Amino acid sequence: MKIQGRKQITPLGVTGPLSGPSFREVEETPEAQASDQVDLSSTQQLRRLNEAAQALPEVRMEKVEGLRGQIEDGNYYVESEKLARKVVDEALNEMLFSTRQS
C-alpha cells in the first residue's frame, strides 16, 4: 500500500539548519542589516544616568521639609484609596518576587 501526498524521509544530516543556503548565498534585507548594529552611545548614556542617580541623596530634604510644613499647617491630604492600592500592590509584588526566588 502506498500513501499519497507524503514527503520522502531524508537521511539524518541532510535536513536542518545546516542544509539551507550558505551564509554568502543569503541576501540581507535592510532590516536585517540594521538589526546587526550596536549603539554604544546609548549604553554610555545609561551609565552616565546611573552614576547621576547614584550621586543623588537617598532622602530629598527639600521634599521632606515641604511635607513637614504641610502636615504642621494641616494642609496635607492623603487619598486613602490611592494609598491602599499602593500598599496592596507592593505586598503582592513582594509575594511574587519572593516565590520566584525560592
pLDDT in tens, 60-97: 899 999 999 999 999 999 999 999 999 999 999 999 88
Assigned domain for 82 exists: yes
**Residue 46, pLDDT above cutoff 60:** yes
Assigned domain for 78 exists: yes
For the chain, the 3-state helix, strand and coil shares in percent, each to the nearest 5, are 60, 0, 40
Give the chain's domain count: 1
Residue 7 CA to residue 10 CA, distance in Å, equals 9
Residue 97: give the domain boundaries: 39-101
Assigned domain for 57 exists: yes
Q: Which of 24-28, 30-34, 64-68 has the lowest mean pLDDT?
A: 24-28
Q: What are phi and psi of 66, to 5 degrees?
A: -60, -45
Assigned domain for 17 exists: no
Band of residue 33 on the pLDDT scale cut at 50, 70, 90: low
Cell of 37: 548594529
Assigned domain for 52 exists: yes
Task: Say which residue the cell 504642621 belongs to.
Answer: 72
